Amino acid sequence: MDFSEIIDSIRTFKGVTRKKSIADVRETLKDVYNISGDVHLAFGDDAAAIDIGNNQLMLLATDGIWGSLMDLDPWWSGYCSVLVNVNDIAAMGGIPVGMTNVLSSSNPKVTNEIMDGIKEGVKKFGVPMVGGHTHPDTPYNALDVAISGIVAKDDVIPSCDAQVDDDIIVAIDLDGSVYPNTEINWDTTSDKSPEYVQEQIKVMNTIAQRHIVHSAKDISNPGIVGTLGMLLEASNKGASIELELIPKHDSIDWIHWLRMYPGSAFVLTASDDNTDETIKLLSNANLTSQVIGKVTDTHKLSMTHKNTTKTVFDFNNEIIMGFEEDR
């Protein structure tokens, strides 16, 4: 497959390009987001972090399910609404505490399928869905879920602390398959035990407590390279990575793989003296982990394939989110 085609597929992927709208929302709220004075981390991370005293941060995140996925499979949408939120808290090194939802549908069949999916997700991940709000008379189907979590202030793993010369680690559960009738959902959880799945959440808290990584994000809608790009943008850094070092399932071509939304996957940065310990912990949780490159001060994300290097994103003159993280 042509390397230029791979680069272009990342840059034009909707999971990447739709992130630009975050900048407009942040611009409107930038003068008031920390009106309480207690906000530790805000726009640009997987979850906001608010100082609640006693060296504890409350983590808050929200995810909405794509309408196209809702139309395709309401049950899977409900299940994924739990999965994606739990992963946001895990990426910060936190412990998920509870969720609420906003469910919009006038179709009882769709509503029941969504709630059945949510119920299965709650049982799988062990995080309660404690309430929310319903719109039972909308002409459309929509689902949004919010989650709270907790982490020690000294342990939180932000997106914005990548350091020059850090190793970039990609960790993915490769024991999965593309979910039926989807192209970019890499399902690694629906057929696994709750113990298996929850260990992949807990390992990030263990890593956080050991203070062995500088930054992390869960790999989500923008795909592997797009998610790394967001981490670098939040950190005001660049990176040099090698395509062949990215963990990949043999059955999937590179273009589809780099757009995939994995059930359990993270990108992390760590100093090289902590890399082996980090990879060992992730591997013990059934996450195939590999160093794929280094953080640089170039403000560009470049990728090498067969001795050819190309720029994926140049943050000197283009954006994914469009800002460094607020903290």
The string of pLDDT tens digits covering residues 21-36 is 888 888 898 899 899 9
Q: State whether 175 and 285 are in the same domain.
A: yes
**Residues whose CB is less than 8 angstroms from the CB of residue 2 and which lie 6 or more positions away in sequence, other chains included:** none
Q: What is the rounded (10 degree) CA torsion for 174, 176, 181, 182?
A: -30
Q: Determine the average pLDDT of the residues in 159-165.
A: 97
What is the rounded distance in angstroms from the CA atom of residue 185 to the CA atom of residue 204?
22
Number of independent structural domains in the chain: 2
Say if 322 falls within a structural domain.
Answer: no
SS3 (DSSP) at 83: helix
SS3 (DSSP) at 173: coil
**Residues whose CB is less than 8 angstroms from the CB of residue 114 and which lie 6 or more positions away in sequence, other chains included:** 70, 74, 75, 77, 78, 103, 105, 141, 143
What is the rounded distance in angstroms from the CA atom of residue 189 to the CA atom of residue 178?
11
> Residue 134 belongs to what domain range?
33-152
CA angle 89, 128, 179 (to 5 degrees): 70
Tens digits of residue pLDDT in 230-264: 999 999 999 999 999 999 999 999 999 999 999 99
Say if 310 falls within a structural domain.
Answer: yes
Q: Using the predicted structure, report yes or no on whether residue 67 has a pLDDT greater than 90.
A: no
Both tokens of residue 278? Answer: 């980090």
Smallest CA-to-CA distance from 171 within 293, 292, 289, 294 is with 289
State the amino acid at position 309 in one-letter form.
Answer: T
Q: What is the pLDDT of residue 8?
A: 97
The overall pTM is greater than 0.85:
yes
SS3 (DSSP) at 146: strand
Q: Using the predicted structure, report yes or no on whether residue 306 has a pLDDT greater than 80.
A: yes
Which CATH number characterizes residue 293's domain?
3.90.650.10
